[in-house]
């Protein structure tokens, strides 16, 4: 073990301390706009609207999902808890993709809207007294869902979709340069059917 480094449990430091959860969440949520700008800030619109596989989302659809989840899922449910509510309004993010025609959205407009909504979320979180985060609402699948639960899920949601976006961009890049062998890099998500496995270098 390296001397001088703190040893963290599997749940991280001060996992039960609302002030720590809030502070770390704010720091992590603030990363998203910068990361997205680096990943897709100058992405070609044609690539932004391309899907890596028929049933998967294009880059712009992923951004639209993040934009709407920001206010209609995490933001709305967090406010419900802060306002003393115990029931969350139903949402259907999967249906929004087609119903709201995500794929027709302009990438730069969507990115700007998402970043603006994230800035507003961070302002809200900056005004929160940590002790209020123990309040909870009822979730039909998970049961009691507290403000602390929503905070850690919010960051996890960012990371899940950053991973999805990176995988999508990797597949679109590889497909763009076919027949060049991008698979030399390793397994690329959303491989076409019957694509040959990569052999050892």
**153: closest CA among 64, 81, 84, 95?**
81
Low-confidence stretches of the chain (pLDDT < 50) are 1-14
Residue 148 placed within a domain: yes
pLDDT (0 to 100) of residue 184: 94
Q: Which long-range contacts (CB under 8 A, 24 or more apart) does 67-70 make?
A: 67/110, 67/113, 67/114, 67/117, 68/93, 68/96, 68/100, 69/93, 69/157, 70/114, 70/117, 70/118, 70/121
pLDDT in the model for residue 5: 40
Confirm whether 61 is domain-assigned: yes
**Is position 103 within any domain?**
yes
Contact 157, 74 (CB under 8 A): yes
pLDDT at 198: 53
Residue 13 has what pLDDT?
46
pLDDT at res. 3? 42
b/e per residue 143-168 (b: at least 16 CB within 10 A) = eebebbbbbbbbbebbeebbebbeeb
Please give the pLDDT value at position 7: 41
Torsion angles phi and psi, residue 143, rounded to 5: 80, -135
How much is the pTM?
Answer: 0.87
- Give the model's pLDDT for residue 8: 41
Count up the domains in the chain and report the number.
1
**137 located within any domain:** yes
Tell me the CATH number at 27. 1.20.120.450
Tell me if 154 is assigned to some domain.
Answer: yes
Q: Is residue 34 part of a domain?
A: yes
The alpha-helical segments, DSSP class H, found in 70-200 are 76-82, 93-99, 107-126, 147-176
Residue 3 lies in a domain: no
| Residue 201 falls inside a structural domain | no
Domain that holds residue 181: 18-185
């Amino acid at each position: 073990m390296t001397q001088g480094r703190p040893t963290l449990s599997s749940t991280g430091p001060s996992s039960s301390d609302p002030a720590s959860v809030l502070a770390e969440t704010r720091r992590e949520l603030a990363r998203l706009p910068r990361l997205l700008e680096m990943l897709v800030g100058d992405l070609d619109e044609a690539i932004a609207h391309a899907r890596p596989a028929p049933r998967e989302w294009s880059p712009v659809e992923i951004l639209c999902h993040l934009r709407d989840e920001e206010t209609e899922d995490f933001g709305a449910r967090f406010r419900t808890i802060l306002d003393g509510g115990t029931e969350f309004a139903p949402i259907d993010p999967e249906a929004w993709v087609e119903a709201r025609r995500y794929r027709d959205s302009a990438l730069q407009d969507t990115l700007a809207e998402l970043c603006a909504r994230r800035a507003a979320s961070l302002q809200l979180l900056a005004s929160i007294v940590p002790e209020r985060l123990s309040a909870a609402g009822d979730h039909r699948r998970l049961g009691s869902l507290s403000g602390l639960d929503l905070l850690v899920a919010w960051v996890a949601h960012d990371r899940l979709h950053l991973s999805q976006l990176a995988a999508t961009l990797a597949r679109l890049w590889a497909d763009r340069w076919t027949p060049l062998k991008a698979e030399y890099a390793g397994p690329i998500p959303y491989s076409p059917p019957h694509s040959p496995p990569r052999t050892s270098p």
